[in-house]
Amino acid sequence: MGVIEVEGLRKEYRRIRRGRTIAVNGLDLDVPEGGVYGFLGPNGAGKTTTIRCLLGLVRPSAGRTRLLGAAVPGDLAGVIGRVGSIVEQPALFPRFTGRRNLEILGRIDGASGSEIDRSLERVGLAERAGDMVKTYSLGMKQRLGIAAALLKDPSLLILDEPANGLDPAGIVEVRELVRSLGAEGRTVFVSSHILSEVQHTADRVAILARGRLIKAGPVGEVLAAGGARGLIVKLADLESGIAALAQAGINAERADDVLKVDLAPEEGERVSRVLAQRGLYVSELRPDQVDLETVFLELTKDEGLAP
Amino acid sequence: MRRLFGSEFLRARSRRIVPVLIVGIVIGTVIGMTIGAFHSHKPTPERLAAAQASYERSRTQCLRGKFLGTPGPPAPYTSMEEYCDDTVRLENFVGSDEIQLSQLPDLLLGISTIVALVGVLLGSTLGGADWGAGTMGTLLTWEPRRIRVLLTRAAVAALILFGITIFLQAFVSVTYWAAAALRGSTQPSSGMWRDAIEQILRNSALASGFAIVALAAATLTRSTAAAVGALFGYLVIAEGFLASLWAGLRPRLLIHAATVVASQQPLLDPRATATYGPDGTLIDVTHNGVLLSVRGAGVVVGIWIIGLLGVALLAFRQRDVS
């Protein structure tokens, strides 16, 4: 049984002027327990709507959702104490201090003052806890939102675009935090439209586009589905390298200061031998790894769904 | 439920508008009472004694039915004592240029509109703040039972408003007493303190009721400003318009019912019969009936509060939260 189970989820918005909009269209999802699960897709793919449905904030038009085995929204109250979440940007009272915001939420769950202190320390906000939230940077607000989510000591964390608007240092901080939370045995369900970002943190991913699931599984498996594989070779004389490989019947092309060789990664030894026989010695030889962005573009190119 | 109540109470207590409003009213009261005291002149003991004697003489005459020409009390009074308490007042014999403690119940009745406005203002902000800050979604990820959330919130708003308005009216009473002691008369009339306390409790109960109405409006409109605007538009403009168009509708309107509750004066049918004496002097004015009794007004106010809260609960339960 997964910690998040979604069957045929559909959410349709009807608006007088804009007519009917399908935000999520028959989504099936099964998130296993433990680790970091990336929920990917471009803006408008339906990620946030799915998360809102999971948390009972939005009523689905059709389909079923279960969180930690509890049906949403009927039985949600029984498990919500084990679910920490941030939906889009953390919504907090700007004129209250960071600590007061956590106290207000923490009281619902019976969190003590020391638990609030620990949460603030964990996200590096202990020193600014007495300041009003309106004086916080976006990154600090994100961290405060994560601190609020951690107050419940959750077994499932749902983070919607946690790196949104952060500077590079902030992104690294959040990435490390997400990794460490996943390593603690919690399930971290993290949505993002920055595919390369999730690639660094997630164990499994699901790719969503136009409200539909395109691909789901372990990161390596999803990357393999991208297809575009090869070898990257770095050597001093690239032109000679291309000629030598061509003589051996191997296609290669120059890409900046490296060669992209059209062979499977396991044939690296053959490439190295051919070049060495011509007196050309490689300084770097590695598989041409496909990133999630490439995979996503490939998976969606026929449907015009790319970001 | 207790934890949610604690959280909601802390949230409401932390809102800056609460102390700002309290301090503002306290300062306004002190300024008002100082100005009032400055213009007031303490009566001499001789004048007070004469006023007291005149008052007692008139009250005795009233109890004998001399003012009415009829043996029984006029509607809606049930006894002559009640009628005379209301009609013959000490302050009418003392003079008009001095602060008289005996007028405290009237002063409290006079500020009942302000007290109700405090209820509307704080109720709106307590109900609308989460929508403005976008924190309703955050709250519901901690307590997804929406009915419980809104009922707790309404209870907290009502309790806070009751406490705040009790404090503010007590402060007004104390400053009024101080002003009367320094520059006016502290001579109490019969049942004055009881009337004052009852008026304070009625005003505070109405403020709590209006806070719930405003909270319900803020939940429906999802905005503090929209709730205040909608309530102002309805209560002041729409109800005034409706009352002038259909007099028969008046007993069902919130403002009219709340006024009856605050003043404890039933809403009388405006069509009246006048009785004149042989010399042509007006002896009595008999109203054709009571359109809304005090008890009935309480029921009408209660229906408004429960009805609006019920609509807000239904909408809050059904609508998506973004």
Per-10-residue mean pLDDT, chain B, length 322? 87 88 95 90 79 90 77 78 84 76 92 95 92 89 94 96 96 94 81 92 97 97 94 92 87 93 86 71 69 93 97 94 84
Mean per-residue pLDDT, A144-164: 90
According to DSSP, the residues that pair with A97 across neighbouring strands are A132
Touching check for B156 and chain A: CB below 8 Å? no
What ipTM was estimated for this complex? 0.80
Cβ contact A233:A284 at 8 Å: yes
Touching check for B288 and chain A: CB below 8 Å? no
| Residue-level pLDDT at B231 | 94
A87, A93, A110 ranked by CB distance to B137: nearest: A87
Nearest alpha carbon to residue B146 among B313, B322, B2: B313
Confidence of residue A307 (pLDDT cuts 50, 70, 90): very low
Residue B200 region by backbone torsions, left for phi larger than 0, else alpha for psi between -120 and 50, else beta:
alpha
Q: How far does the CA of residue A31 sit from the closest CA of chain B (Å)?
A: 19
CB-count exposure of residue B85 (10 Å: 0-12, 13-18, 19+) = middle
Residue A130: CB atoms within 10 A of its CB come to 10
Q: In the predicted model, what is the mean pLDDT of chain A? A: 87
Confidence of residue A306 (pLDDT cuts 50, 70, 90): very low
Q: Mutation test of the interface with chain A: which of B138, B153, B316, choosing the one with the most A Cβ atoms within 10 A? A: B138
Which A residues 79-98 touch B at CB under 8 Å? 80, 83, 85, 87, 90-96
Cβ contact A286:A254 at 8 Å: no
| Cα end-to-end distance, chain A, whole Å | 32
Confidence of residue A130 (pLDDT cuts 50, 70, 90): very high
Residue B274: CB atoms within 10 A of its CB come to 9
A304 pLDDT more than 60: no
CA max distance for chain B: 78
| Residue-level pLDDT at B42 | 73
| Chain B neighbors of A78, CB-CB under 8 A | none
Touching check for A76 and chain B: CB below 8 Å? yes
| Residue-level pLDDT at B14 | 86
Mean per-residue pLDDT, A53-62: 93
CA max distance for chain A: 73
% of chain A beyond a pLDDT of 90: 43
| Residue-level pLDDT at B44 | 77
| Chain A neighbors of B314, CB-CB under 8 A | none
